[in-house]
Amino acid sequence: MKSTLAILLVVATGAVTACSTGHVARLPTYKLEALRAEALRGLPPEETGTFRASDLVEVTTLDPTILLDVRYATRDNFLHWPVYSEARVFLQRPAAEAVVRAHKALQPQGYGLLLFDGYRPWYVTRIFWDAVPPEQRDFVANPDQGSKHNRGCAVDLTLYVLATGREVEMPSGYDDFSERAHPDYGGGTAAQREARDLLRRTMEAQGFTVDDIEWWHFDCRDWQQYRIENVAFKDVAARQR
């Protein structure tokens, strides 16, 4: 997700208004279900040109010591509603293999990678876009353009401590919509900044670039070579059998 200082809050009437604190956009479940139904009827934007064949792989099948915390499969996300039916992370194979290399590079320092999100079907991007009012859409991807997540070339992740499995503290939490999420934010503790910068250096060494407003979001350098996809997780998994 794209970050913003403006946050959404549903008031007692069910309307969505801007607020300066808290997380984002609690819409009634029936409205979110309607948005899902509409998004599933939609079609991704048409793209022209030559693209690589999709080769989405489940990252944990390459290295099961990589941990997952797929919050979009739970209510612990900015919509407070599960948009994924399964807690799985897929990436295009080169990106997945680069994540594994980064994970292995961290191990001598006592850390591993904890993944929040990877490939995201296009219809989910459409839900995110439709769930917020137009004046707040600067922090969600436009479905008319698609996102790097839709191409299987973006990953959201953090560090965990190998010895305990505990998530490492960063200057902000995941999907924090404030300046604390910026990769160059100067606040927080020295230890938090060091951990964030270690993650960035490690991912950049494997060819990823960090998002300019989200320390946890990294893009594969070859993302332009893959099409926007709209395939459900279960169907991606079926391709691999």
Rg (CA), the chain: 18
- 167 catalytic? Reply is no
Please state the φ and ψ torsions of residue 172, each to the nearest 5 degrees.
Answer: -145, 165
Residue for token pair 């604190």: 21
On the 0-12 / 13-18 / 19+ scale of CB atoms within 10 A, 14 is exposed
Tell me the residue type at 213: I
Q: Which of 33, 86, 194, 214 is catalytic?
A: 214
Q: Under a CB-based contact definition with an 8 Å cutoff, are residues 233 and 86 in contact?
A: yes
The residues that are catalytic are 214
